[in-house]
Amino acid sequence: MSQSNPTDRLYSKDHEWVKDNGDGTAVVGITDYAQEMLTDIVFVELPPVGKKVAQGEPMAVVESVKSVSDVYAPVSGEIIDVNKTLEETPELINQDAFGEGWIAKLRLENVAELKALLSAADYGALIKEEKH
């Protein structure tokens, strides 16, 4: 079930991923490790399209049977699209956190923010530490 962290994107310490589309937009989701820790995601609250979010601020909410967790914006920007499918099938995040379980698409406000994020290798090292 466990997936390795794709190298085509960057990671936050709060377990979000961000994939730069190279056209000033990026796709955001939570990592496979995060979904594994949450297990059984049963509800996702998506942000409204058009909302502006700042890096590190709560952007969405994912709930498992037992827990409520904020998803933090890994970069600042304007929400230009959300994964509406998650409203009916939140378990898509459990099944495919890096793909079909994406959460939102943003128009990047400050591309320089990407530099502060972790590479797949660095993120892998971080979760290895957390597991111990």
Partner 1 sequence: MKKTPLYEKHVDLKAKIIDFGGWAMPVQYTSVIDEHNTTRAQATLFDICHMGEIEVKGPDALNLLQVVLTRDISGQKIGQVKLSALLNDKGGIIDDLTVYKMAEDFYMLVTNATTREPDFQRISSIRDNKNFDCKLSDISDKTGKLDLQGPCAEAILQSLTDTDLKSIHFYSFVESKVAGIPALISRSGYTGEDGFEIYAAAGKIGFIWDKLTAAGAANGLKPAGLGARDTLRLEAGMMLNGQDITEDISPLEVTYSWLVDWNKDFAGKAALATIRDYGIQKKLVGFVMTGRGIARHGYKVMSDSREIGLVTSGTFSPTLNKAIGLAFVDIDFAAPDTKVSIAIRDAVSPAIVVKLPFYKRQK
Could you tell me if 102 and 131 are in contact, meaning their C-beta atoms sit under 8 angstroms apart?
no
Q: In 3D, which of 59, 65, 50, 48 has the Cα closest to residue 17?
A: 59
Cα separation, 126 vs 33, in Å, equals 11
- Please say which residue, 45 or 100, places its beta carbon nearer to partner 1: 45
**Min CB(10)–partner 1 separation in Å:** 28
**Min CB(51)–partner 1 separation in Å:** 12
Cα separation, 97 vs 70, in Å, equals 16
**Min CB(64)–partner 1 separation in Å:** 7
Contacts to partner 1 by CB under 8 A: 39-40, 42-43, 45, 61, 63-66, 68, 87
